Amino acid sequence: MIKRVLLVVFACFWGVHAAAADPRDPGKLQLASANAAVYDASTGRPIFAKAANEVTPIASLTKLMTAMVVLDGGQSLDEPVAVDIQDFDFLKGSSSRLRLGTQLPRREMLRLALMSSENRAASAVARHYPGGLDSFVAAMNAKAIALGMKRTRFDDPTGLSPKNVSTANDLAVMVRAAAEYPLIREFSTTPSHYVEVDPAGSIVGFNNSNRLVASSDWEILLQKTGYIREAGRCLVMLANVASRPVVIVLLDSIGKYTRLGDAERIRHWLETGDALPLRAVARGAGPAAKASAPGKRVSGGPVRGSFNAAPPRRSRAR
């Protein structure tokens, strides 16, 4: 019921602007992510921005657009889709638990692409699109244009290509559009899932790439993570925070937990109006962190009450 109410409110995302100023001071909020945007989904009003119009690679955040194009295509979600050698990652060499020849219904491939960021699953559903992969990527770019994502360009359906680029503000638009699809909301927030991967009945379990979906502190309606070296760690979410739906976009984070720590910082700021500082070394850091050379930055984890990741050192390979 809560989700239904939020989605009704969310329908006016860009169309209505709040008259009253938010009492929270954006100047207080410090984030380690290089690019960020926070929007009030009920009013369409930006709450916070950091380099939000800078074009940057977006890694597997791409898969939200992939999912929309698959669902727009209207192909049967029960139709089997097979993993082929063309779905293997020869660009980044990423691993996959979907072996050559694995057949799953399109529905399951889409779920794994969204929740577990399975690259072979995303590639397989795109390759089985009418007209093949080229037609699929063209449809991705056409939808981006239709949504008004003027600084966005897609080169592949997985996000492994660094030529998949966007901005934090454009990605907030994409989150809004993706939230209109019930299956994308469901699949992207599935904590874990099991599938049979071969005729012998072998069962393989997959976990969500975003650990926050399993946290009782969060009410996440839609999410997607992403990572390649050129993009850094990325995260987008539509979540209910401080009794209102909020879109959060975090791009180019360094460190495994920095994007999650930034999400927690944003939530704390929205709920209390206070900002938690960035610190060089996490409280209670283990021996490895404590033994770090003076001045070396160590990213903190997303544990509630310990928001200590330092600002990233900018080392981009675009």
Query: What is the number of helices (H) and of strands (E) in the chain?
Result: 9, 11
Are residues 250 and 259 in contact, defined by beta-carbon separation less than 8 angstroms?
yes
Based on the number of CB atoms within 10 Å of its own CB, is 242 exposed (0-12), middle (13-18) or buried (19 or more)?
middle
Based on the number of CB atoms within 10 Å of its own CB, is 233 exposed (0-12), middle (13-18) or buried (19 or more)?
buried
Name the nearest CA neighbour of 231 among 250, 203, 207.
250
Are residues 237 and 208 in contact, defined by beta-carbon separation less than 8 angstroms?
no
Name the nearest CA neighbour of 140 among 79, 63, 83, 86.
63
Q: Catalytic positions, please?
A: 60, 63, 117
Q: Where are the beta strands (DSSP E) in the chain?
A: 35-40, 45-50, 56-57, 80-82, 103-105, 165-166, 192-196, 203-207, 220-228, 232-241, 244-253
